Structure formats: structure tokens, C-alpha cells
Amino acid sequence: MGHFSILHITKYKELGGIGSHIDRRNTPANVDPSKKHLNEDMVYQFSEEMTLEQCVERRISKGYRQNRLIRKDAVKALGIFVSGSHERMKEIEADEGLFNAWKQANYNFVCVEFGAKNIVRFSLHRDERTPHIHCVVVPLTKDG
């Protein structure tokens, strides 16, 4: 099988389940607990005691400047999942310089596309079969 990249964006109206997964508040069956120390929270905006949902609400309260109320069914955040084919991701992970460059390139991409201030989580998971990044952004524009 060939090498490929994965970039998946999901709209979130509620964040409880994905927040528990990203922050490892519960351990899914496919996670190797002995590798949990390899995970990295590269951006954890606000406080580590706050849930993902609380961080998203805080970012909205700090950045939203419109006069209209936000709809109850509005998309509050975007989940960005970045990875690749298992074989290629293992090759990248084995080369520390390449792995660090991969992480930085993905972080830079999200900063350019969504703004660094809008990133509430940027977490690398290495305790599952294939290394991957979960990033959560609040889609606020420059005008709020």
C-alpha cells in the first residue's frame, strides 16, 4: 500500500466526548497505557483543569464581538485530525528531526489557516497504533 496523508476536519457543536478522548480523561480500548508518556499537549489554552468544552466557551467569550446571540445549534469548534499511512508515520516517528519537522509544519498550517489565538488544543497522540495530531480551533474571524 502506498503512503498517504490524512487531514480530516469535523464540526463540533458539543465537545464532551471528543474532549475526553483528546485529554485522555478516559482510556479507549485501542490505547496502550504504557505509552501515554509519549503524548504531547503542544497547545493547551487556558487551564489544564478546564475541560475542552470550557476552553472553547472561554475562547468564544474572549473573541466573539458580534451583537447577535450565538445560535444554540451553532458550530462552536472545528476538530482537525492529522496523520498518515501507518508505515510512513512510523518512518517519520523513527527520525526525531523529521518527526519534529512534521509536528511543526502541521502546527504552522493550523496557525495560518485558523489563527494561533483560536487553537485551544493541539495534542499529539503516540499511545495508539499510528501517531496522529488532534487540534481543536474556534473558528473566529479577525472581526470577531
| Residue pLDDT, tens place only, 62-84 | 988 888 888 888 899 999 999 99
Give me the pLDDT at residue 1, please: 59
Per the CB < 8 A criterion, the answer to whether 138 and 129 are in contact is: no
Name every residue whose Cβ is closer than 8 Å to that of residue 97 and which is 6 or more positions away in sequence. Answer: none
pTM: 0.90
CA distance 66 to 92: 43
Categorise residue 120: left if φ over 0, alpha if ψ from -120 to 50, beta otherwise. Answer: alpha
Q: Which of 55, 48, 49 is nearest to 15 (CA)?
A: 55
What would the pLDDT profile of 29-57 be if each residue is shown by its tens digit? 889 989 999 999 887 666 677 889 998 99
